């Protein structure tokens, strides 16, 4: 049994023209779901304002090798690790790659942070943690996907959970994110 590991990264999309992103996101989802199911990796993907935000979880060596492949993928520019380390449990147990179309909710999060656009390269560690936990809590039907791209049930090898080292910020963020984190016991309610 291996150690459970989580890696969160951001990258810029190489889709340069308006409307070209849907096929790019679709191809990333199809490839991720096919490969991740086979490799025992789970995670979440969000796209906004030309940036990808992705969390990968699984065995450390497999997650790191997957990230290295992403770094070589021509659909991504400037892939950058935002956070990585051992994890105490899977947040995306049932998802080989959860796609989150939470534009409205993420815009609210950005507004609370005084950020006009989604640019995860500018996120603090606290913001990265809050967004990952929000995506974990966001409930969507299993059949939600981009047209023609369907999430399949995942059967994963067992990975030993490790205590996660995490620095919890005390800054108030308000709104949905505050309620989600408070409900998970990760933030004090104000």
Give the DSSP per-residue string, 88-148: SS-SSTT-SSEE---HHHHHHHHHHTT-SS--GGG--HHHHHHHHHHHHH----TT--STT
Q: With a threshold of 0.75, does the pTM exceed it? A: no
Within a domain: 119: yes
Q: Which has the closest alpha carbon to 75: 21, 145, 121, 128?
A: 21
Q: What is the CATH number of the domain that holds 164?
A: 3.30.70.100
What is the arithmetic mean of pLDDT over 10-27?
A: 64
CA gap 129, 92 in Å, rounded? 14
Between the CA atoms of 165, 184, 108 and 103, what dihedral angle is there, to the nearest 10 degrees? 90
Helix (H) / strand (E) containing 20: none
**Which domain, by its residues, includes 46?**
2-183
Distance between CA atoms of residues 35 and 12, nearest Å: 21
Q: Is 188 contained in some domain?
A: no
What is d(CA 52, CA 46) in angstroms, rounded to the nearest whole number? 6
**Does the residue 190 lie in any domain?**
no
Residue 44: pLDDT over 70: yes
**Domain annotation covers residue 33:** yes
Segment 47-75 mean pLDDT? 90
Q: Work out the pLDDT band at 28, boundaries 50, 70, 90.
A: low
Is the pLDDT confidence value at 69 over 80? yes
Q: How confident is the model at residue 75 (pLDDT cuts 50, 70, 90)?
A: confident
pLDDT at 95 over 50: yes
How many domains does the chain contain in total?
1
Alpha-carbon gap, residue 127 to 135, rounded angstroms: 12
Q: Report the pLDDT value the prediction gives residue 141, as an integer from 0 to 100.
A: 42
- The pLDDT tens digits for 130-187 are 999 988 887 654 433 434 434 444 444 444 444 444 433 333 334 444 444 344 343 4
Mean pLDDT, range 17-41, rounded to an integer:
65
- pLDDT tens for each residue of 78-89: 999 999 999 999
In contact, 120 and 51? CB cutoff 8 Å? yes
Higher-confidence position of 100 and 4:
4
């Amino acid at each position: 049994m291996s150690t459970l590991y989580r890696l969160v990264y951001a990258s810029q999309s190489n889709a340069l023209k308006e409307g070209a992103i849907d096929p790019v996101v679709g191809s990333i989802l199809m490839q991720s779901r096919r490969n991740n199911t086979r490799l025992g990796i789970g995670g979440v993907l969000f796209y906004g304002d030309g940036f990808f935000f992705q969390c990968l979880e699984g065995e450390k060596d497999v997650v790191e090798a997957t990230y290295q492949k992403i770094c070589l993928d021509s659909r991504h520019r400037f892939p950058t690790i935002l956070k990585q380390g051992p994890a105490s449990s899977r947040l995306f147990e049932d998802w080989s790659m959860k796609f989150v179309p939470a534009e409205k909710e993420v815009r609210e999060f950005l507004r609370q942070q005084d950020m006009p656009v989604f640019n995860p390269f500018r996120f603090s560690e606290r913001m990265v943690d809050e967004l990952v936990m929000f995506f974990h809590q966001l409930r969507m039907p299993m059949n939600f996907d981009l047209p023609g791209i369907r999430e399949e049930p995942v059967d994963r090898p067992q990975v030993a959970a490790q205590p996660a080292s995490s620095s919890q910020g005390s800054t108030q963020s308000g709104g949905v994110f505050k309620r989600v984190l408070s409900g998970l016991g990760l933030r004090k309610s104000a």
